[in-house]
Amino acid sequence: MASLLIVDGHAYAYRAFHAIRELRSPTGESTNAIFGFIKMLAKMRATLAPSHLLVVWDGGLSAERLQALPEYKAQRPAMPAELAVQIDELMTYLEAAGIASYCGEGVEADDHIAVVARRAARTGMGVVVASADKDFMQLVAPRIGLFNPNDKTETVWTAEQVRTKTGVSPGQIVDWLALIGDSVDNIPGVPGVGPKTAAELLNEFGSVTELYRHLDAVKSVRLRGALAAAAEAVQRNVGLVRLPDDLPCDVDFEALRERPENVEALRELYARWGFRSLLAELGATAPAQGCLL
């Protein structure tokens, strides 16, 4: 069966950047994110053996989310300059490696990943989304799994793992996040409602809609008051957290099939970056100077 691996590009680039603290090319440019990303991607491909592969990059913040919540992701620091220059190099690497990538102006990676994953699943493909972002748990379905780099078991998450992690089903993740908020995205939740309480409420009432329809049935006076006061914020959060299925996106799945590597282009890149071990894997002679990786 055809299978598609979708990689959250910026998430893995950041992960690689912080995992390898110092690595430079023979001419002094930072290469830690490049090397770490290449190794992480190779390991995922070996583990999951996808027939199709797509790396998706952030193209900016959603205008709709910013209109709903101007503070959306406002607390995030700017990308380190030494990482930013490596993103362009990574896109060059992906082209040479025969791997498709996408970056849409003003399109958050999460949104494009959601659209592609669902469309691929509807064609009968198996899909794995590689990211630690908890928003992606809402995508988990019979044909869509989640590969979380924080899970050292390298298990592709299904509804079972989502429920073990959160206490709710994938179909309830949007409501669960709407109640607890998301500090990573600067989305405030209901004061005093944490993951466990949110899960208990959703398991009792089924959804945010039913919870507010039967708010008087919430036993705790304090909790009932907090939920009532945050009603508008919770409804706003549902819209912020939900990943869309209606973005304009013409997906050519055949173009996502892994293509043959451009060995000469890779040899040139690895030599410029000083990646001796990767050059050796290509059967190339390693440069006399540069890093020993």
Element (H, E) at 214: none
Token pair 């930072």 is found at 30
Does the 3-159+244-281 domain belong in CATH 3.40.50.2300? no
Quote the pLDDT of residue 245. 87
Q: How far apart are CA 36 and CA 178, in angstroms?
A: 34
Per-residue pLDDT for 292 more than 50?
no
CA atoms within 13 Å, Cβ hemisphere of 287: 19
Per-residue pLDDT for 58 more than 80?
yes
Q: How confident is the model at residue 290 (pLDDT cuts 50, 70, 90)?
A: very low
Q: What is the mean pLDDT of the chain?
A: 93
For 170-241, CATH gives 1.10.150.20
Q: Are strands 126-130 and 3-8 parallel, antiparallel or unpaired?
A: parallel
Q: State pLDDT tens for residues 230-283.
A: 999 999 999 999 999 888 777 889 999 988 999 999 999 999 999 999 999 987
Residue 127 sits at φ, ψ, to 5 deg, of -125, 140
Q: Report percent pLDDT > 90 for the chain.
A: 85
Per-residue pLDDT for 33 more than 60?
yes
Q: Where are the domains of the chain?
A: 3-159+244-281, 170-241
Whole-structure pTM value: 0.92
